[in-house]
Amino acid sequence: MARVDDYQKSFDLAAEELDQRDWAEVARRAGATAADDASYLEMNYLGRPVRVSAPPITVSALDDGPEIPLAEQALILHYLVKADGTVPSGEWITYREVEAGEFYWSAFVKRAKAPLVGFFGERPELLTELAPLVGGEGPGETGDASVIVRAFPMVPIQLVLWAGDEEFPPDGNLLFDRTIGRYLSTEDIALTAGMPIYKMMALSHQRG
């Protein structure tokens, strides 16, 4: 498990890289907006408006919600650094089809697929109810229940569930636009995929 100092190092390295970029160009490629004086960028992250400011580089939420954890701050910077402006294709792929996805498959299952099926498999209506609170934009295109969540402006993720029956338990998966590798590393894709699931689980617990 990554430690706080690992996240801090990840954040610092990405911040150093971002600090050398033209922020207007970064914003264009990432689907964000930049201040006229390039002192900050703004975009949505899992349904929340966030601001990346400099100097020094900081990441903060613009709503009344909780502070963004350091691991997610680093993830946001990774997205900004890697984004290349490629328009999403509308073609969905599985994590196994992502470059080196097989290598990180077990981590992906642990972080995203297993929590999705374990928590929402028996109550798919809860998935569709909570998805709008974490950047959900509408129903997905496959499965017995599915939603599309926009993790970042150029990163849609489709969460899919298949209902179980007397013979088989519920199943599910997460699908990504074929351009996902233009915006996140393979490891960051697995991390990002789990974020809306954990946030929806937390929202469900808060509701009792």
Reported as a single tens digit per residue, the pLDDT across 121-142 is 999 999 999 999 999 987 888 9
pLDDT, averaged across the chain: 95
Burial of residue 2 (CB within 10 Å: 0-12, 13-18, 19+) is exposed
The pLDDT of residue 2? 62
Give the contacts of 169 (CB within 8 A, at least 6 positions apart): 121
What are the beta bridge partners of residue 59? 52
Report pTM.
Answer: 0.95
pLDDT surpassing 90 at residue 166: no
Q: Who's near 102: CB < 8 A, 6+ residues apart? A: 96
Give the pairing type, strands 136-139 and 58-61.
unpaired
pLDDT tens profile 64-106? 999 999 999 999 999 999 999 999 999 999 999 999 999 999 9
Taking alpha carbons only, the member of 139, 53, 176, 206 closest to residue 148 is 139
Among 137, 175, 142, 182, CA closest to 157: 175
Radius of gyration of the chain (CA): 17
Give the separation between CA 147 and CA 207, rounded to whole angstroms. Answer: 21
pLDDT digits (tens, 9 = 90+) for 11-26: 999 999 999 999 999 9
What is the spatial distance between Cα 139 and Cα 206, in angstroms, rounded to a whole number?
A: 24
* Rounded-to-integer distance, Cα 59 and Cα 71, Å: 11
Give CA separation, 72 vs 46, 61, 91, 109, in Å: 11, 11, 26, 19
Q: Give the pLDDT band of residue 207 (cuts 50, 70, 90).
A: confident
Q: Where are the domains of the chain?
A: 4-82, 92-207
Handedness of CA 148, 149, 155, 160 (dihedral sign): negative
Q: What is the largest CA-CA distance in the chain?
A: 61
Whether residue 203 is predicted with pLDDT greater than 90 in this model: the reply is yes
Q: What percent of the chain has pLDDT over 70?
A: 99
